[in-house]
């Protein structure tokens, strides 16, 4: 037996070959025997949670290829043998290629599952963002496999510096030629990920306003209140000062009016309490404050501040109408008149001013 174990095969005894083979056998055995059990338990745990990354991890482990694992095991197996430089280089190179492919499969499956789950959620909340998520998935795959390819070539002894430099120059040229398109593309990804607005939201951009109907890869379409379609490039939207009324929970209203100067101090003192009574008697409105604010040019000015408990604009206009009518009735009962722009001319003289009409000659 000792003589058999010392038998030399290709410059290595039988024990060395057995140790090398053991690396491959153990690696494949673990993948074929223990990996399914681990995946089953992890899948059972993932079904009980609401998060999505654990499901992506389970799907990533399911794409493990035992054949690639066996080739990866050639790397440590080659360390048990005395090989020539060329043979050792090839074995390590094959192990590196197999490892890179397996890592690519794992990361690709993880990203694919995560983005697919995100798309399913987007279909319920914002269907138009699914196209941008598809582009994000494509870009992630391109970056992943490009990085892995460069790593494999570098480990195989190829000079990747020239290749990277060439890709960099080519990328700059393409980027300059397509800078507007690429700017809108990445802006759409920013909108999808950051979500400053979604389909169905009412937004205001500068002097334009409307409801978002579609978020594309290059442009976003908004239906204005007057009915026409407004088209904005995504890059412009990410740079603009945008107001999104969808996230409004309450609406603060500042309401000003004036009464005439013939009102007495007692009448003026009653007006804030009248305003409080009107607001508190109106549904979906909350009183904040009411004050005799200023002496105007032709009016005594009051300022009322109240909150609408809903963001609905129609409800706001109904409440404002009820406040206006209630205020008119109460001020009429109190004998107070609303002011309007007037100007009084006073001629301060003790005697009448003679007026003489001159006839034309």
How much is the pLDDT for 22? 81
Show Cβ contacts of residue 183 under 8 Å, excluding neighbours closer than 6 positions.
Answer: 235
* pLDDT tens for the 361 residues of the chain, in order: 555 555 555 566 666 677 777 877 887 777 777 777 877 888 777 777 766 677 777 778 788 787 777 777 777 777 766 666 766 777 777 777 787 888 888 888 887 777 777 666 665 665 555 556 666 676 777 777 777 777 777 766 666 666 666 666 665 655 555 566 667 777 777 777 777 888 888 889 888 889 988 887 788 889 998 889 999 988 888 888 888 888 788 889 999 999 999 999 999 999 999 999 999 999 899 999 999 999 998 899 999 999 999 888 899 999 999 999 999 999 999 999 998 887 777 666 666 667 676 666 5
Which CATH number does the domain 126-133+158-247 belong to among 2.40.50.140, 2.30.30.60, 3.40.640.10, 3.50.50.60? 2.30.30.60
C-beta separation of 91 from 84 below 8 A: no
Per the rule left: phi > 0, alpha: psi between -120 and 50, beta: everything else, 282 is beta
Return d(Cα 33, Cα 43) in angstroms, integer. Answer: 17
Kindly state the tokens that stand for 232. Answer: 């904005």
The residues spanned by each domain of the chain are: 2-125, 126-133+158-247, 251-334
**CATH code reported for the domain at 251-334:** 3.30.70.100
Residue 286: closest CA among 313, 309, 312: 309
For residue 156, the model assigns a pLDDT of 65
Sign of CA dihedral 269, 272, 273, 274: positive
Range list of H helices, the chain: 2-5, 14-29, 35-47, 53-62, 66-72, 74-78, 85-125, 130-155, 160-177, 179-194, 234-239, 265-280, 313-334
Q: Tell me the sheet residues that pair with 211.
A: 202, 223
Residue 111 pLDDT: 79
- The pLDDT score that the predictor gives to residue 353 is 62
CA pair distance 337, 300, nearest whole angstrom: 11
Where do we find the tokens 């009409």? 357
């Amino acid at each position: 037996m000792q003589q058999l174990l010392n038998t030399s095969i290709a410059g290595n005894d039988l024990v060395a070959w057995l140790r090398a083979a053991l690396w491959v056998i153990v690696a494949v055995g673990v993948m074929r025997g223990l990996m399914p059990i681990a995946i089953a338990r992890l899948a059972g745990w993932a079904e009980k949670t609401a998060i999505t990354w654990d499901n992506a991890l389970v799907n990533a482990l399911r794409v493990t290829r035992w054949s690639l694992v066996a080739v990866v095991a050639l790397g440590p197996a080659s360390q048990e043998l005395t090989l020539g430089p060329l043979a050792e280089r090839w074995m390590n190179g094959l192990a590196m290629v197999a490892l890179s492919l397996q890592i690519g499969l794992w990361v690709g499956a993880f990203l694919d599952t995560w983005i697919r789950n995100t798309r399913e959620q987007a279909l319920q909340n914002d269907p138009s963002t699914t196209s941008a998520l598809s582009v994000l998935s494509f870009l992630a795959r391109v970056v992943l496999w490009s990085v892995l390819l460069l790593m494999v070539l570098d480990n195989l002894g190829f000079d990747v510096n020239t290749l990277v430099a060439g890709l960099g120059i080519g990328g700059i040229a393409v980027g300059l030629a397509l800078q507007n398109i690429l700017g809108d593309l990445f802006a759409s990804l920013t909108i999808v990920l950051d979500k400053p607005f979604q389909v169905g939201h009412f937004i205001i951009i500068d002097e334009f306003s409307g409801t978002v109907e579609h978020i594309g890869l290059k442009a976003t379409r908004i239906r204005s209140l007057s009915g026409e379609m407004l088209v904005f490039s995504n890059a412009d939207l990410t740079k603009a000062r945008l107001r999104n009324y969808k996230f409004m929970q309450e609406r603060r209203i500042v309401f000003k009016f004036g009464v005439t100067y013939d009102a007495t101090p007692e009448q003026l003192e009653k007006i804030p309490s009248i305003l409080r009574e009107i607001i508190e008697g109106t549904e979906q409105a909350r009183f904040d404050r009411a004050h005799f604010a200023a002496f105007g040019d032709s009016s005594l000015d009051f300022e009322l501040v109240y909150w609408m408990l809903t963001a609905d604009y129609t409800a706001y206009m109904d409440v404002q109408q009820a406040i206006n009518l209630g205020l008119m009735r109460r001020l009429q009962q109190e004998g107070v008149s609303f002011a309007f722009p007037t100007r009084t001319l006073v001629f301060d003289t003790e005697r009448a001013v003679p007026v003489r009409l001159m006839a034309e000659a």
